[in-house]
Amino acid sequence: MKKILSFCIALVFCFSAGAQTTAANFIKTDCAGIHHNLFSELDSGYVVLLDFVMFDCSPCVTATNGLKTIHAQFEASHPGKVRFYSMGFLNYMSCPQMNNWKTEFGYTHTMFSGESSQVEYYGGMGMPTIVVLGGLSAHKVYYNHQGYSTAENTPIIHAINLAISESTTTGANQGLDNDRFQVFPNPFDDALTIILGQVQATHVILSDGSGREILRQALSPAAGNATLTLPAGHPEAGLYFISLFDGTRRIGMRKLVKQ
């Protein structure tokens, strides 16, 4: 055990993080049986906090505990926007092993079996390796670092905030075709009408230019349109975004101006 811990710590100092600026896609089923396509998730506006780990590695547990706290903060401020994944650093690390590790330390976030090609892409075998990905079709790397201390919380949080901002303001009209998802008037004052056509959606979110949620409203499955009524004088004039969701998946977004 001591040899393994020493090896893990040594790796952190022997390797530096890779200089990759774009993400490496993965199409993979997680340890709960849910299928993922990383690029599709980024294209849908999600930000991914990726945590590569190994077993019997005390620094890995410390890092994942820190990331767990950071993720909880963003769940409170941007519900469902940031996805937190832990992935094994070698191919032989199986889902039963990852799930045992998850249970041992009381984690609730998504686990993946080992994927050494991903680890290599982001700079080598230093554990833990932490990556922040986002940026819609740009598939950008906002943070890539091997090793963890609480001093890293600030740059990690900054990277996530930047990724959220750019995932909100870049490609603002990606998603559904206009004839299936329309919003008017634009500019708007105190009410918005949304025409859904035949699309299936569970709710709509109005956010400001920084990604901060202003209003959330559930949608009826049978409704062909919905009206959002805002309090008089709120929000302030400026740039806003209306996002359409099916569960946790964003399926369309439009840029709006509040007059």
Rounded to whole angstroms, the Cα distance separating 141 from 196 reads: 33
pLDDT band at 180 (very low <50, low <70, confident <90, very high): low
pLDDT greater at residue 256 or residue 26: 26
Rounded to whole angstroms, the Cα distance separating 42 from 138 reads: 9
Asked if pLDDT for residue 173 goes beyond 60, the answer is no
Mean pLDDT computed over 157-176: 70
* Residues of the domain holding 6: 2-169
Per residue in 189-237, pLDDT tens? Answer: 878 888 776 677 888 888 877 667 788 888 876 556 777 777 666 778 8
DSSP 22-42: BPPP-EEE-TTS-EEEHHHHH
Asked if pLDDT for residue 246 goes beyond 50, the answer is yes
* CATH number of 194's domain: 2.60.40.1930
* Nearest residue to 115 via CA among 63, 40, 38, 44: 38
Same domain for 61 and 93? yes
Same domain for 100 and 209? no
Asked if pLDDT for residue 242 goes beyond 60, the answer is yes
Q: Is residue 174 part of a domain?
A: no
Same domain for 154 and 29? yes
Per residue in 56-83, pLDDT tens? Answer: 899 999 999 999 999 999 998 888 889 9
Q: What domain count does the chain have?
A: 2
Lowest mean pLDDT among 2-11, 15-24, 69-78, 217-226: 2-11
Which residues, including other chains, have CB under 8 Å from residue 23's CB and lie 6 or more apart? Answer: 38, 39, 42, 131, 133, 139, 140, 141
Asked if pLDDT for residue 258 goes beyond 80, the answer is yes
Q: Is residue 175 part of a domain?
A: no
Asked if pLDDT for residue 122 goes beyond 80, the answer is yes
* CATH number of 36's domain: 3.40.30.10
Write the DSSP symbol of residue 230: P
CA 48 vs CA 58, 69, 100, 206, 236: distances in Å? 23, 15, 23, 21, 30
* Summary mean pLDDT of the chain: 82
Q: What is the pLDDT of residue 223?
A: 58
